[in-house]
Amino acid sequence: MLISNEDNAVYRQFLHEQIKGMITAGTETKVIDKPGGIFVRAGDQISNEDRILLQTVARIVIKDTWGTLVEQINRRTVIEAVVPRFRPTRAKPAEIQKTNELAHSDLGFFNGLGGFTPDGREYVITTKPGSVTPAPWVNVLANPHFGSIISESGSASTWSENAHEFRLTPWYNDPVTDISGEAFYIRDE
């Protein structure tokens, strides 16, 4: 919990001490400035970017200028996003190239299962229906701001900035079952 003291009056330090006193008077004194605990900060010491981040990830934001606590809780509403009804624009279904029609002759270093495209930028794996790759594998698709891990069974995990700290979808590091925490919803207009 973060309590941001945004009082700009002369008595800010007094209010700050009152807030800390209320916290230390209870059993919460052990969790002050500890992970998962209570943090009391002066509002002018929090940058605008950090304030936006904190309000974005907060489960609830309460301000003394927005009315009483009961009014603020009762005023909470969930805003539903209105998505227009999908109307397909394609007149005929796309043609899907079958696996047995893929030309293996243009793949470099073809090993019976896959090979490199002529420009060397991709490795193409071709399997027949019901067959799998001889060993499990994972591909990492990433840049400095965003990334994803995709396994041979289709399991995936996506992150932003840092694969460990900022996961957008769960990653199940299970060597027996390759569970995915993602679903793909494709809307191509």
Alpha carbon distance 3, 15 (integer Å)? 12
Alpha carbon distance 126, 5 (integer Å)? 61
What pLDDT does 3 receive? 82
Binned at pLDDT 50, 70 and 90, residue 99 comes out as: very low
**Most distant pair of Cα atoms in the chain: their distance:** 80
pLDDT (average), residues 47-52: 87
What pLDDT does 94 receive? 59
Q: Would the pLDDT of 97 be above 60?
A: no
Alpha carbon distance 154, 175 (integer Å)? 14
pLDDT (average), residues 79-87: 79
Question: Whole-model pTM?
Answer: 0.37
Instruction: Check: CB of residue 136 under 8 Å from CB of residue 151.
Output: yes
